[in-house]
Amino acid sequence: MSDFDLVLSGTVVLPGLIIEDGYVAVRGGKVIHVGEGKAPSAHERHELGNALILPGAIDAQVHSLSQKDQEDFIWSTRSAAAGGVTTIVDMPYDEGNLVCSAEAVRVKVAHASPQARVDFALYGTINPEEGATRIAEQAEAGVAAFKFSTFGTDPIRFPRIPPALLEECFAAVAKTGLTAGVHNEDDEMVRAAMAKVEAAGITDYRAHALSRPPLTELLASLQIYETGAATGCPAHVVHCSLGRGYEIARTYRDQGYAATIECCIHYLTLDEENDVARLGGKAKINPPIRPRAEVEKLWEHVRAGNVTLVSTDHVSWSENRKKSASMLANASGVPGLEVMVPLFVKGALQRDIPLTWAARLMAENPAKHFRLAQKGALTAGKDADITVLFPRPTRYDAAASGHNVVGWSPYNGIELPWTVGLTYLRGQQVFDGTTVAEPGTGRFVRPEVRA
């Protein structure tokens, strides 16, 4: 009897290396060895041919509870498992429960734990009326980062944090060693632009991008990074749709500041002139989807190493909240957990970008960013979180897959040359190509504590 529980053989994709004839050996839920050539025997062994074996993805931005009685962790983690995502980092803006205290964190962990099919970490935030007083207690309760917004989507659930209070929050977060992530749209400029669009009577797909022109995003990003520089707090822009934003972040890093930046998969996939024009409200996202020329700029920033993380900003709004003929009346956000990894692989291969970036931007870097020490790498001693993609061309259909609470997706109809066929969480299979793990398989994961 071998002392390995599981061995997977195929093309192993690591952050800095691709092993064509490679294998991953697992014991006790941990990666024990990654090698090349003849694989060792194991209790369970799979010869996967030319399949891609990647570290399980960590989705840095998920909204499981934005709409009450809609998705919940029972469905978000189902989509995750089917998409090769083994850990989600859930946002704090839950309808009916702003996660802004240690007690709110405990309530959410207790709520999500029996539902989760993959592991989950949590963001915390603040109630503006309380200021930064509860940041330390949330860090103690186990949040992996903090989230704020320079734009007020909702005064209670998703409030704007004005500049002085944002500085106070950053100073408090700096003491915890965690990162302050911020939604980057300048509130005053967005509202002025929205008023112009409404006054002009523009209601079709064009209205959204016109209501949030590039400067609204870039000014907010500058505020975020300057606030980080002034307070010594790691500053993170949670989504950037513009090439210029990645240039700004790189400038701050070159100056020695902790300035990270995230690209959502929709900004690497969809464009305004084709997809938003076709889909209308089903492609309404904040910040907006930009023209195809901007999409290609973002891929060049991936190639150049200027992107820190790739995520989904996943939210499954019920279809009735995405079908208004008036573009600005629709809810903002789209589901994407099931297809983030295949979409990134497709886009990278089309542009001759090494797949090592998939392992780096969707696993290694998120694990480091959120200080999830046991996650994010096919390295000895790490959790055996593994995603396997097979060269099975599939035309994506969110309803047909059966792993989504909603049947719509802006990615419906896209041809995926590689599809997720196996997902392992700590060495346990949580997706076999058809069936996902039972609720309760996943765990709440906390960041490592640094002295």
pLDDT tens digit string along 377-422? 999 999 999 999 999 999 999 999 999 999 999 999 999 999 999 9
Mean of the per-residue pLDDT values for the chain?
97
Predicted confidence band at 450 (pLDDT cuts at 50, 70, 90)?
Answer: low
**Res 3: pLDDT:** 87
223 has pLDDT over 90: yes
pLDDT level of residue 155 (50, 70, 90 thresholds):
confident
Q: What is the mean pLDDT of residues 134-155?
A: 95
Q: Give the separation between CA 93 and CA 369, rounded to whole angstroms.
A: 20
Residue 268 has pLDDT above 70, yes or no: yes
Those residues whose C-beta lies under 8 Å from the C-beta of residue 256, and which sit 6 or more positions away, are: none
Strands 235-237 and 6-13, sheet pairing? unpaired
Strands 386-390 and 44-55: antiparallel
Q: Which two tokens stand for residue 215?
A: 């400067």
The set of residues, in sequence order, having a beta carbon less than 8 Å from that of 203 and lying 6+ positions away, is: 325, 326, 327, 328
What's the number of CA atoms in the CB half-sphere (13 Å) around residue 283? 27
Output the pLDDT for position 147.
Answer: 98
Q: Which domains does the chain have, with CATH numbers?
A: 6-53+382-431 (2.30.40.10), 57-369 (3.20.20.140)
pTM for this entry: 0.98
Compute the average pLDDT of residues 435-445.
98
CA distance to 63, 244, 333, per residue, from 251 (Å) = 30, 11, 29
pLDDT at 451 over 60: no
| pLDDT of residue 363 exceeding 90 | yes
Question: Would you say residue 2 has pLDDT above 80?
Answer: no
Q: In this predicted model, what pLDDT tens digit does every residue of 390-399 receive, in sequence order?
A: 999 999 999 9
The pLDDT value given to residue 117? 98
CA atoms within 13 A on the CB side of 213: 11
> Considering the chain, what percentage of its residues have pLDDT values greater than 70?
99
Q: Check whether 1 has a pLDDT greater than 90.
A: no
What is the three-class DSSP state of 172?
helix
Strands (E), 305-344: 309-311
Q: Which pLDDT does position 234 carry in this prediction? A: 98
